[in-house]
Structure 1
Amino acid sequence: MGTQDAVTARDAVLTRDGAGTRGRASGEVLLGLALFGLYSLVAMLPEQVREHAARRRGEMVLGLERALHLDLEPALNGWLAARPVWRVLADYEYATTYVAATLAVLVWLYVRHPERYRTARNAFVTLNVAAIACFALFPVMPPRFLGDLGFVDTVRLGRTWGSWGSPLIEHADRFAAVPSLHMAWTLWAGVELARARAPRPVRALNGAHIAVTAYVIVATANHYVLDAVAAVPLVALSVLTAGRLAARPAAAERVPAQDAFFLAVESAAAPQHAGGVIMLDTSRRALGRLDLVRLIGDRLDRLPRFRQRLADRGRWRRPVWLDHPAVDWSWHVTERTVDGMAGLRAMIAEIQAEPLPRDRPLWRMILVAGAAPGRTTLVFLMHHVVADGVGVVAQAISLMEPAAPGRPGGRGPAAPPRRRVREALAGAVGLAQLAADGGAGAAPRLPSAGTAGRRFGTLRIPLAEPREIARRYGARVSDVVMCAVAGALQRTVRFPAGTPPRECRVAVPLMMRAPGEGMEGNHTTAVMVDLPIGAMPERERLALIARRSRVLRSGTRALAAWFVMRQVGRLMPGPLHARFARAVYGGRFLQGIVSSLPASGERMLLTGVPVTGVYPVVPLAPGAPLAVAALGVDGELCFGICADTGLVDDADALTAGVRDVIRELRDG
Structure 2
Amino acid sequence: MGTHEAVTARDAVLTRDGNAARAHAVGEVLLGLALFALYLLVAMLPEAPRARLARAHGETLYELERALHLDVELALNEWLADQSVLRVLANYEYAITYVASALALLVWLFVRHPDRYRTARTAFVLLNVIALACFALYPVMPPRLMPDLGFVDTVRLGGTWGSWGSPLVEHADRFAALPSLHMAWTLWVGVELARVKAHRSVQAINTVHIVVTGYVIMATANHFLVDALAAVPLVAVSVYAAERFARPSPERVRAPDAFFLAVETERAPQHTGGVIMLDTSREPLHRADLIRLVAERMDRLPRFRQRPHGAGRWRRPVWRDHPAVDWDWHVAEHHVTGMDGLREVIARVQAEPFPRDRPLWRMLLVRGAEPGRTAVVFLMHHVVADGIGVVAQAVALMEPPQDPPPAGPRRGRVRTALAAAAGTAVGLGQLALDVAPPARLPAAGTPERRFGTLHVPLDVVRDVSRRHGVRVTDVVLCAVAGGLHRAARPGADGRGTCRVAVPLMMRAPGGAMEGNHTSAVMVDLPIGAMPETARLADIARRCKVLRSGTRALAAWFVMRQVGRLMPVPLHARFARAAYSERFLQGIVSSLPGPGGPLRLAGAPLTAVYPVVPLAPGAPLAVAALGVSRELCFGVSLDPGLADDADALTAAIGAVIDELRTAAPLTGAPAPETEPAPEPAPDGRPDPAA
Q: Distance in 2 between the 1:115 and 1:448 partners?
A: 62
Q: Which runs of 5+ in 2 are unaligned?
A: 1-9, 14-30, 39-131, 138-243, 663-689
Question: Percent of pairs identical after alignment?
Answer: 66
Distance 1:301 1:567 in 2: 30
Whole-angstrom distance in 2 between the partners of 1:115 and 1:580: 41
2:299 aligned partner: 301
Task: Check whether the contact 2:334–2:364 (CA below 8 A) recurs between aligned residues.
Answer: yes
Match of 1:577 among 571, 574, 584: 571
For 1:272-296, what per-residue CA distance to the aligned partner results, in whole angstroms no more than 9, with x for missing partners?
Answer: 0001000000000111001011111
1:384 to 362, 382, 385: 382
Of the three residues 505, 523, 529, the one matched with 1:511 is 505
Q: Given the superposition, is the C-alpha separation of residues 349 and 198 from structure 1 closer, same or farther in structure 2, using an over 3 Å criterion?
A: farther
SS of the residue 2:637 aligns to: strand
Distance of 1:259 and 1:113 partners within structure 2 = 36
Residues 366, 374 of structure 2: 8 Å contact kept: yes
| Residue 484 (1) aligns with residue 479 (2) | yes
1:453 to 448, 459, 462: 448
1:642 is aligned to 2:636: yes
Count of aligned residue pairs for this structure pair: 433
* 3-state SS in 1 of match to 2:659: helix
Please name the residue that 2:432 is paired with. Answer: 435
1:20-44 Cα distance to aligned partner (Å, 9 max, x none): xxxx9x99xxxxxxxxxxxxxxxxx
Q: Say whether the 8 Å CA contact 1:415–1:514 is kept in structure 2.
A: no
**Any idea what the Cα deviations from partners look like across 1:553-579, whole Å, max 9, x if unmatched?**
111111110011001100111100000
Letter in 1 for 2:314: W
CA distance in 1, matches of 2:501, 2:37: 40
1:479-628 correspondence runs (5 A):
479-495=474-490, 500-628=494-622
Aligned positions of 1:328-347 closer than 5 A: 328-347=326-345
CA shift in 2, pair 1:248/1:627, >3 Å: farther
Match of 2:154 in 1: none
Distance 1:557 1:197, change over 3 A: farther
In the superposition, relative to structure 1, how do residues 474 and 331 fare at CA in structure 2: closer, same or farther (>3 Å)?
Answer: same
- Counterpart selection for 1:311 from 309, 312, 317: 309
**Which sections of structure 1, spanning at least 5 residues, go unmatched?**
1-23, 28-108, 117-194, 201-245
Compute the displacement of 1:667 (Å): 1.0
Q: Does 1:444 align with 2:439?
A: yes
Query: What amino acid is the match of 1:490?
Result: H
**Equivalents in 2 of 1:115, 1:457: separation in Å?**
64
Residue in 1 aligned with 2:459? 464
Equivalent residues of 1:113, 1:196 under 8 A apart:
no
Q: Is the 8 A contact 1:504 1:530 kept in 2?
A: yes
1:375-397 CA-to-partner distances (Å, cap 9, x unmatched) read 00000000000000010011111
Deviation at 1:494, TM superposition (A): 2.0
Distance 1:199 1:369, change over 3 A: same
The alpha carbon displacement at 1:534 in A equals: 0.5
Distance 1:527 1:197 in 2: 52
How far apart in 2 are the matches of 1:344 and 1:303? 27
Residues 517-546 of structure 1: CA deviation (Å, up to 9, x unaligned): 110000111000000001000000000000
| Aligned twin of 2:100 | none
Deviation at 1:197, TM superposition (A): 10
* Corresponding residue of 2:353: 355
Q: Where do 1:101-250 residues align within 5 Å?
A: none
Query: What one-letter code is carried by the residue in structure 1 that aligns with 2:320?
Result: L
What is the deviation of 1:451?
1.0
| Residue equivalent to 1:278 | 276
Pairwise CA distance, 1:495: 4.0
Distance 1:599 1:401 in 2: 15
**SS of residue in 2 equivalent to 1:629:** strand
What's the TM-score once normalised by structure 1's chain length? 0.62
Post-superposition shift, 1:515? 1.6
Letter in 1 for 2:392: A
Residue type at the aligned position of 1:433: Q
Q: Residue 533 of structure 2 aligns to a residue in which SS?
A: helix
Provide, for residues 340-397 of structure 1, a one-character-per-residue CA deviation record: whole Å limited to 9, x for no partner.
0001101100000000110000000000001011000000000000000010011111
Question: Could you tell me which amino acid in structure 1 is paired with residue 419 of structure 2?
Answer: R
Could you tell me how far 1:416 is from its partner in structure 2?
3.1
- On the 8 A contact 2:391/2:593 being kept in 1, the answer is no
Following TM superposition, by how much is the alpha carbon of 1:198 offset from its aligned partner in structure 2, in angstroms?
Answer: 13
Flag the 1:434–1:198 CA change in 2: closer, same or farther, 3 A.
farther
1:507 to 1:247, Cα distance in 2 relative to 1, 3 A: same
Give the structure 2 partner of residue 473 of structure 1. Answer: 468
Cα pair distance change 1:115/1:656, threshold 3 Å: farther
Q: Shift of the alpha carbon at 1:486?
A: 0.2
SS in structure 2 opposite 1:508?
strand
Give the Cα–Cα distance (whole angstroms) in 1 for the partners of residues 338 and 390 of structure 2: 26
Q: Which residue of 1 aligns with 2:258?
A: 260
State the Cα RMSD in Å. Answer: 2.6
Report the alpha carbon displacement of residue 196 of structure 1 after superposing the two structures with TM.
Answer: 8.6
Q: Distance in 2 between matches of 1:546 and 1:352?
A: 32
Tell me the amino acid that sits aligned with residue 375 of structure 1. R
SS in structure 2 of the partner of residue 457 of structure 1: strand
In structure 2, C-alpha distance between the alignment counterparts of 1:556 and 1:304, rounded to whole Å = 34
Q: Which amino acid aligns with 2:258?
A: A
Report the Cα distance in structure 2 between the residues aligned to 1:416 and 1:346, rounded to whole angstroms: 47
Contact 2:250–2:318 (Cα < 8 Å) also in 1: yes
Distance between the aligned counterparts of 1:371 and 1:301, measured in 2?
A: 32
- AA aligned to 1:255 is V
AA of the residue aligned to 1:425 = A
Q: 2: distance between equivalents of 1:501 and 1:489?
A: 12
Distance (Å, rounded) in 2 between the aligned partners of 1:584 and 1:115: 44
Q: Are the equivalent residues in 2 in contact too, given 1:280–1:612 (CA < 8 A)?
A: yes
Matched AA of 1:538: E
Distance 1:304 1:471, change over 3 A: same
Q: Is the 8 A contact 1:488 1:661 kept in 2?
A: yes
* Separation of aligned partners in 2, 1:450 and 1:504: 17
3-state DSSP of counterpart to 1:299: helix
Q: Distance in 1 between matches of 2:265 and 2:275?
A: 23
The question of whether the paired residues in 2 share the 8 Å contact of 1:447 and 1:495 is answered with: no
Contact 2:500 2:525 (C-alpha < 8 Å) held by counterparts:
yes
Higher relative contact order (CA 8 A, sep 6+): 2
Amino acid at match of 2:559: M
Contact 1:278–1:614, Cα closer than 8 Å, also in 2: yes
CA distance in 1, matches of 2:512, 2:37: 29
For the residue of structure 1 that corresponds to 2:634, the secondary structure is strand
SS in 2 for 1:254: coil
Stretch of structure 1 that moved more, 465-474 or 600-609? 600-609
Structure 2 contact 611–634 (Cα < 8 Å) conserved = yes
Q: What SS is found at the alignment partner of 1:531?
A: strand
1:168-192 alpha-carbon deviations (Å, 9 max, x no partner) = xxxxxxxxxxxxxxxxxxxxxxxxx
- Distance change >3 Å, CA 561–CA 114, structure 1 → 2: farther
- Equivalent position amino acid for 2:545 in 1: V
Output the CA distance in 1 between the equivalents of 2:595 and 2:543: 26
Q: Which amino acid aligns with 1:637?
A: L
Q: How far apart are the structure 2 equivalents of 1:500 and 1:198? A: 75
Larger gyration radius, structure 1 or structure 2: 2
- The alpha-carbon deviation at position 608 of structure 1 amounts to 1.6
User: Alpha-carbon deviations, 1:419-451, whole Å to 9, x = none?
Assistant: 10111011100110111112xx21100000011
Aligned equivalents of 1:250 and 1:474: distance in 2?
Answer: 52
Counterpart in the other structure of 2:422: 425
Task: Tell me by how many angstroms 1:250 deviates.
Answer: 6.0
Asked whether the 8 Å contact 2:395–2:594 carries over to 1, the reply is: no
